[in-house]
A and B are shown apart, each in its own frame.
Chain A
Amino acid sequence: MTQTEALKEYLLRLADSDLILSQRLCELCGKAPAVEEEMALMNVALDLVGQARNWYQYAAEQIDDGRDADKLAFRRDAHNYRNLLLTEQPNEDYAVTMGRQFFFDVWHYFTLKSLTESSDERIAGIAAKAVKEATYHLRRSSEWVKRLGDGTEESHQRMQEAVDILWRFTGELITPDDTDRVLAEAGIGPDPDQLANDWRGMVNEVLTQATLTPGPDDAWMYMGGKHGEHTEHLGFILAEMQFLQRAYPDATTW
């Protein structure tokens, strides 16, 4: 795999993960457990779409086949999507929503933090802005995991179940493949070992404070999103998200 190929793949992973998670958060509009949460969820989702747009724009330049950011977002089918499986998992209850957010935010924060020092200046620039947002996202989702984990008996039980349900999707966050390794070696992407250690360290710390038990070290992990092999959920997410672009393919402006 060449560095250029790896870069294209990696930019799509960042963009797609942001967009798909944001899409899940948008589904909660008007349905959050408090008005304050409506605001916060939409705020996080908004940050993620903004970041996705930046990554797509750079990806479009690299791919250079005439497609722009919108074409990449709204005209690719599921097998061409490169988001982490975690991000496409359904909202379920607020424990799952927050658990998914937390596992993602830890990964996102350390990834972006590392990318601020990328040898690719464009990436470093986008990451520098994004990491500020991700810092806030992580603080917020950590707080919620602690509140729910160490709140009432019911919330503890729900939060533990959420951790158990989502755990199998976390391996993909910290298991590197060729793309990750090529970019790490070039000084473009994060060091995979460092990222995995940081992720485990932070997750364990917060879960312990939240009186929650992480999944076992040898847990079976469901992976494939980074290569376009998704869960059944993604097709439906895209069917909804891409509806207008698919139904009116002749429209050039919206």
Chain B
Amino acid sequence: MYAQLVETGAKRLKTRDEMSPEEREFQEKVDAEIKIEPKNWMPEGYRKTLVRQISQHAHSEVVGMLPEGNWVTRAPTLKRKLQLMAKIQDEAGHGLYLYSAMETLGADRDEEIEKLHQGKAKYSSIFNYPTLNWADMGAVGWLVDGAAIVNQVVLQRTSYGPYSRAMVRICKEESFHQRQGYQILLDMMREGTDEQKAMVQDAINRIWWPALMMFGPHDDESPNSQQSMAWKIKRKSNDELRQMFIDQTIPQLEFLGCTVPDPDLKWNEETGHYDFGEINWQEFYDVLKGNGPCNRERINTRKKAIDEGAWVREAAVAYAKKQKQRAQAA
């Protein structure tokens, strides 16, 4: 999930003739849908782009625990508490799994996390929005995990082997989260009080547009998009994915008996898709630049956790060293 605007370093795509023999061989493998594995030769730009994309994805899983952590101590029933905890645990697992995939590219987890804390690395803009009522836990599962799945199902076929395999595993768990999220909303809409129903609609109103922003800006002719597509790191355009998400989500929305805050949303018989209004791109770029509702809090919380945990990690290293020495002396 959760990679938006990944730099590839490309100014324009190289033609076959401009490629070195290794580059040509690499591109032919990619074109033939043969997975690239850690030990294979790869262009430096490919490696760097993947490190950026996978680390963004990993950071998003970890930062994404915070808006849910905001409600895990206030979950209303034991069942909902258990579900939310299991989801959060899965996310920590996804983060670890993705950091490992990233490390197969020679990147260092601590260094990448440091970049996050310095504001140099991104994570999905969605996690900079606050979770303000309990129904947000349903709406996040349904819409945010839902948007992530649309992205990730496609990424299961991404060209880099370890990333592709990570996506297969992660998609399974996130489909489960999405169904659970939807169920939270459905139960409240069917059997809840008026106040609970209002909670659901309020959550959808706040999360709808930020969820659509998760797919990133409109695709243009930018060399980044073209290069990522050629390398098959990216398989479908942002706008295609966003449309897929909307088309599959609106019937679910109607089944809930809720609405989205978009007066332009309507079924288009001709295209066979939903038409929808323009995203507030100013807001999107503001959030990406650090000016979203919770950017500061999210990064500060993560930075504090890692900084204040330094002595714990140092102790673990020192203890392991002592144990090793003892084993050798024995």
Contact = CB atoms under 8 A, between A and B. Distances in A.
Contact of A70 (B65, B78, B305, B311): B78
Contact of B78 (A37, A56, A94, A253): A56
A46 B89 contact: yes
A26 B81 CA distance: 10
A125 interface: no
A243 B81 CA distance: 13
B295 interface: no
Interface in A122-168: 146-148, 150-152, 154-155, 158
Contacts of A151: 314-316, 318-319
A35 B93 CA distance: 8
Contacts of B312: 33-34, 37, 94, 148, 155
Interface residues of A, number: 49
Interface in B58-108: 62-63, 65-66, 68-69, 72-82, 85-86, 88-89, 92-93, 95-96, 99
A32 interface: yes
A73 interface: yes
Contact of A33 (B76, B80, B195, B309): B309
B315 A152 contact: yes
A38 B188 CA distance: 30
Contacts, number: 147
A45 B87 CA distance: 13
Please classify the interface of chain A as helix (H, G, I), strand (E, B), loop, or mixed, using the class held by over half of its residues.
Answer: helix
B289 interface: no
Interface in B290-308: 301-302, 304-306, 308
A34 B305 CA distance: 8
Interface in B180-217: 184, 187-188, 191-193, 195-196
A144 B119 CA distance: 32
B308 A252 contact: no
B179 interface: no
B82 A49 contact: yes
A64 interface: no
B313 interface: yes
Interface size class of B (residues with CB under 8 A): 35 or more
A30 B316 contact: no
Given A49-B78, A70-B77, A30 B65 contact: yes
Interface in A5-39: 23, 26-27, 29-39
Given A31-B69, A148-B315, A253-B192, 19 more contacts: A27-B73, A29-B68, A33-B310, A34-B312, A34-B313, A39-B93, A49-B81, A49-B85, A52-B78, A53-B78, A69-B78, A150-B322, A151-B316, A155-B318, A244-B75, A250-B195, A251-B76, A254-B76, A254-B80
6 shortest interchain CB distances as A-B pairs: A33-B309, A151-B315, A29-B69, A155-B315, A244-B76, A39-B92
22 contacts: A26-B73, A29-B65, A29-B68, A30-B63, A30-B65, A30-B69, A33-B308, A34-B313, A38-B92, A46-B82, A46-B86, A49-B81, A74-B76, A147-B320, A150-B319, A151-B318, A154-B314, A155-B318, A241-B74, A244-B134, A254-B134, A254-B187
